[in-house]
Amino acid sequence: MRFPMVRDPQARSAACPGLIGAVARSRTVTVCALAAAACGLAVTACGSQGSPDAAAPAGTTASPASMGSCVTSQLGISLTYTGALAGQAGGYLKFTNDSGTPCRMSGWPAVTGLTAAGKATRLRRLQSSMFGAWHYTAPPPVVTLQPGASAYAIVAADDKPAGASTRCPAPYVRLRVSPPGESASVTISAWLPGAVSYLPACKSADGAPTAGTSTITTLSSLPH
C-alpha cells in the first residue's frame, strides 16, 4: 500500500498515526479520504485502495463478493488430460469461460454417467483420488474465471472389478455435466483417449459405484 505525502509538516498531529493505521487496516476509499482530510494529506492515493480481490487475475482463488457464479450457458465444458493410473481411469473436466464477463466457481460439479443403454448414475463426490493425486481440503477453493480462463475437476473411476466380481458393468459413454449450483447441463462424450476406453462403471466391493468427481480447482494444482 502507498501512503500519500504530508503537504504541511505542521499538520502532523498526534491523531494522524491512528488514522493512518485505520487506512491500512480498512483499505477503503471512504476511510482513506477521512484520514487524509483530518491530517492534511493528499487524497490522490486513496482511489486505488479497493478490495484486494477486485483485481484478481484469471484462474486465481480470489473472487469479489459482487461477482456472480459461472452459469452453464457461459461455459464451454470438455474432458481433457485423460488416462489410466494406479487402478483408476479418468480425466479432467474443463470449464472454460466463453463469455465476456468474469465469474467464479466453487464446490463439486454435478455429473451423471450415462451408459449406452441409457442407464443414468449420479457420480459421487470424491474426497480423494489416485488419479490426479487429489485430496479434498475444506473449504473448497473459489476459482475466479476471467473471460477465456478455465477451471478443472477430476472425474475418475476404478477400472478393475472388486471383490468376487470378474467384470465391471457397461461403461459410461456420456457424461451429463452441470457446474456447481446450476441445474442446466450439457452432455459430453465419456471417451478417454488416454485410456483407450470409456469411463468405467466399476463398483467397489460393497457394490457402490466408484466413479466420482473432485471439487473445482485450478490446473496448476493438478499434475498435467
Q: What is the pLDDT of residues 93-111, one digit of tens each?
A: 999 999 999 999 999 999 9
**Rama region for 194: left / alpha / beta (φ>0; ψ in -120 to 50; rest):** alpha
Model pLDDT, residue 114: 98
For 220, the grid coordinates are: 496448476
Q: What is the pTM of this model?
A: 0.72
Residues of the chain with CATH 2.60.40: 72-221
Residue with cell 448414475: 121
Architecture (CATH level 2) of domain 72-221: Sandwich (2.60)
Is pLDDT of 170 > 60? yes
